[in-house]
Amino acid sequence: MTLRMPMLILLSGLGGCVAPTTRLATIEPALIEAEEVRQRELYVSEWDKTQHRLDDASFPLLAAATDLCKDDVSLRIGITLKTVDMYEGEYRVAARSALGIGDGVTIHGVASESPGERAGILEGDELVSVNGSPLPMGMNGVERAMELISSGISGGSVQFTVSRNGIQQQLSVTPERICSYTPVVTMDDFINAFADGENVIFTYSMMRFANGDDLATILAHEIAHNAMDHVEAKKQNSLLGGLLGAVLDVAGGTTSSAFWTEELGGEGASRHSSDFEREADYVGMYMLARANKDLEAAPNVWRRMSTINPGAIAYESSHPSSAERFVRLTEAIKEIERKRDLGVALLPEMKEPS
């Protein structure tokens, strides 16, 4: 017998416990079950809508940043494929009703300004075949479609057969070279965005905070982190710090605790952290300019950030203060406008090799 059972027995004997004093209505279980279904549909729809918004905002910036992403560039079409098999249990039912996806391969997302959009692909189209090869149902169909698209991209355009309102259509899509970083939304409840070298990750709370201009500015900043290899640089700095710490641990006979290895490894990882943030802000402004975004709106993201984190207005930790970031973005706009007036390439100023 678990501890819970004796506790329940004891509590059942406490007839004098204080109870609610209002007359509560009797609720039919079916009503609660129906509301559970509706709330699952809302959850699925909200997640889907939020990821769509990030995809739409990302594609033009990833395309505009290709000259800055070095080798991290690939050919992309800008579509998202889904099947109801991607969902589990009760959420599979919700996905059918709320998103309109079924057992086949559905084109569920078409990014703004992408080759897919230009080719006339629409959300809700069922993908029947790729380059003449028919697709199976379910996840096997999604995986097969991705294989066929990847193999066909290198040869130029990709031929899609889609079913729209019961009528099959042939569409030719010519992929575009963009930075190969994947935009991802997580359902975390704190405001944050970060880059990991391969992805740009936004929390759900950040997506709720960021409007159109804010979202573009923060996206450009995170893409710049990846393009400028900041993640790899931090790893190298951490490794160097850890190696120095290991030497100190050996010299001091503290290898069992590895105190200095951990301490200096962490110190190395944070080395130049604020300057990496400044550089990502600066390079991100050029990405916005190359994507023809509204530069004047960009600095205001840091004024809005200050309203939810007033401690960062004047305080610098691993990031510059929000006041400094506002001023630096404003100065970057002036630099970019001068280049536009001169008709020179919109590329950030780089240090001379040492």
Task: Using only the alpha carbons of the chain, give its radius of gyration.
Answer: 26
What's the mean pLDDT in 126-154? 89
pLDDT tens track for 41-84: 999 999 999 999 999 999 999 999 999 998 999 989 999 999 99
> Is-contact 332 285, C-beta < 8 A?
yes
| Region of poorest pLDDT, from 155-159, 188-192, 237-241 | 237-241
Q: Residue 295 in 3-state DSSP?
A: coil
Is the overall model pTM greater than 0.85, yes or no?
no
What's the mean pLDDT in 22-30? 90
Q: Tell me which fold the domain 73-179 belongs to.
A: Pdz3 Domain (2.30.42)
- Ordered DSSP codes for 77-125: --EEEE-GGGS-THHHHHHHHHH---SSEEEEEE-TTSHHHHTT--TT-
- The residues, ordered by sequence, that sit 6+ positions from 43 with a Cβ below 8 Å of its Cβ are 91, 94
Which structure tokens are listed for 259?
A: 């105190």
Cα dihedral across residues 325, 330, 331, 335: positive or negative: positive
Is the pLDDT at 5 greater than 70, yes or no?
A: no
Percent of the chain topping pLDDT 70: 82
pLDDT tens track for 251-265: 455 555 554 344 434
As annotated, the residues of the chain forming the CATH 2.30.42.10 domain(s) are 73-179
Residue 240: C-alpha distances to residues 8, 246, 262, 304 (Å): 58, 10, 11, 37
Tell me the pLDDT band of 13, cut-offs 50, 70 and 90. low
